[in-house]
Structure 1
Amino acid sequence: MQKRNKKTEQKRNNFMQYTVKEPIELLPFLFEVLTDRSRNAVKSILTRGQVSINDQVITKHDHPLKPGQTVVIMKNKVAKARNFTGLSILHEDADVVVIDKEAGLLSISSPKEKAVTAYRQLSDYVRQTDPKNRVFIVHRLDRDTSGVMMFAKNEYAKQKLQNAWKEMVKERTYAALVEGKVQKREGTISSWLKETSTFKMYSSPKANDGQHAVTHYKVIQSNQDCSLLEVQLETGRKNQIRVHMQDIGHPIIGDKKYGSTRNDINRLGLHAQVIAFHHPTSGKLLRFSSDLPKTFLNKSK
């Protein structure tokens, strides 16, 4: 059993070091050697970039370990130099990187915006191992939307995902905290979206006028003040959920642009909770999720 790896542990001021004795995946290995930590704490250590294998930071849960490899677990304050602002890595391989983005972080900068972005931070990160490395935008989340987002790490993966997005992406689930009590427990919203000269999206009153958008929702919990919805995207149009929530008379809390009159959670009430997709190279179905913000749950009780 891997627990005998504890005999090889070397305690230092800033890190713990283990030598792998048997083939095993990284997360189960960490569970076995960090017996004094909860499973969630161990997962957090991995997600925060505190684990390196032969001097390379690894955040992938199912990364295969081989006998003789050295696993180093750094204290959090030491690992901070490798941390990011407003994001954490959920998964990384040779073709894709999946992140959990905080509300307030731009996905990518516009010509007028030079702020820190997810794209820039990940670009800097991959170039640490090779200056030629790059990341590519595959889809975006609005600045004030939090949750799961994916980037490609090469042109092949980017083109494969973008050209066959609808076939490859099997699930995109959002949590939306909206104003008022939604009476219909579940439903589908379908419209044709267009954009104004001021870059605001809206549903055209005419059929076939614009881009077709379809949103499915169901109520998770609600009170007289607001409702928490699980939202499934059938299409992925710009600001689709925000427009559709306004269309049914329940704008997303904090979304002044699309009809909200309040912001008592100090952020936009939209969170990308799940993305599931076929890997562009292996074809394997991968699924990643981000914890629902506690404010969403507490507000809609």
Structure 2
Amino acid sequence: MKRSVVIGTGSALPVRRVSNAELARQVDTSDEWIVERTGIRFRHIAGPDETTATLARDAASAAIAAAGLSAQDIDLIVLATATPDQTFPSTATKVQAMLGIDDCVAFDVAAVCSGFLYAVQVADAMLRTGVQTRALVIGAETFSRILDWQDRTTCVLFGDGAGAIVLEAQESDDATGRGILATRLHADGRHNELLYVDGGPSTTGTVGKLRMKGREVFRHAVVNLASVMTESLGLAGLSAEQVDWVVPHQANARILDATARKLGLAPEKVVVTVDQHANTSAASVPLALDTAVRDGRVKKNDIVVLEAMGGGFTWGAAVVRF
């Protein structure tokens, strides 16, 4: 059978690194307050010359290099973002041009923090048809551009960054072959008012700012993430005990801990980068994955579960034999 195999990962962060102490000089907060409630200590904030597209390009270049390929080997780009450079054209096409790719399928996916999981499933489905061979799947965000910096309950939670993987369609053994084993996605638009941006081209004609009811989001996140991980493992014919690593959406350390406990997973199996990067929305899963690959934790043939939940609500998970 044909499977989509991860053959390279990459990530990129803005140059500017902002501590909780620096934020506390701008808004009514403190390092203790932020760490206790979220686990976040630092985040990276994009400068004037850094955009979602430039971060995506750098993460993509790193992933392509890790795969031992050239940009011309890519025939599909799926880019997940809620903060595109422009309303249109897609940021994916900007990245395509920056990478010097003459022609390939390129488009954006909008599912906020779950966007990378949505992009993975879309790319996987397209690769398995045999029409495309190698896909660049990117999550990239500049959430600092849509934050209300007077709202201390939200502005401390987010950061900017990008992560990417290269997927290659390969013939794979059903039982032990590498690649994406299962994916599961969900959406429930009834919860729009719990996490949203209060603007848009067809409503206000403005970009708007992020608004969130954190307590309600937390409650839904723990239940939904544990459920979708169980679903995806069931589709893959695996149990939680067989998982080597969970690479979750890096929203809040308490959500990560609560989800792991609900599934009976050892905390040391969970990749955590939220303390260093904060919530980078669609970038958080591939950014954390690249971190764990490059420091040697995630190795070939490991069973890795990726999961995320975001505004919409949208949520999803993917099981990968790395």
Q: TM-score, normalised by structure 2?
A: 0.26
User: Greater relative contact order (Cα 8 A, min sep 6): structure 1 or 2?
Assistant: 2
Q: Specify the structure having the higher radius of gyration (Cα).
A: 1
Higher strand proportion, which one?
1
Q: TM-score, normalised by structure 1?
A: 0.27
